[in-house]
Amino acid sequence: MSLEIVKEVKETEVEADTIKKEASAKAKQIIQDSKEASAAILEKARAEAKVKSQETLQKADASVEEDEAIRRKQIEAQGKALADLASAKMDKAAELIVERIVRG
């Protein structure tokens, strides 16, 4: 009977060792899978961040171009107003010069 018990104990130890090795292998695989999943998630997040950054830069560029166009129109309008004012003053100046020459 004691040989039978020793045999069962050894079989149980072998079985426990096998279970332990399988569990260790599964744990290593889970860790590897987790690392790969984490790397994929990180890569996806980086790609999304890059796209978002590019979109933000494009929006900023468009906004700058829009502001530039508005300011250019304002400056052109101010320039035209100054040119019109200068033209009106030139006409008046010419009239004054002609009057002084004619009157003597």
Q: Is the pLDDT of residue 61 over 80?
A: yes
Q: Residues 66-100: pLDDT tens digits?
A: 999 999 999 999 999 999 988 888 888 888 888 88
Q: Is the pLDDT of residue 104 over 80?
A: no
Taking residues 53-74, what's their average pLDDT?
95
pTM exceeding the 0.85 threshold for the entire prediction: no
- What span, in angstroms and rounded, lies between the C-alpha atoms of 91 and 58? 49
- What span, in angstroms and rounded, lies between the C-alpha atoms of 55 and 60? 9
- What mean pLDDT, rounded, does the chain reach? 92
Instruction: Name residues whose C-beta falls within 8 Å of residue 90's C-beta, 6 or more positions apart in sequence.
Output: none
* Helix count and strand count (H, E) for the chain: 1, 0
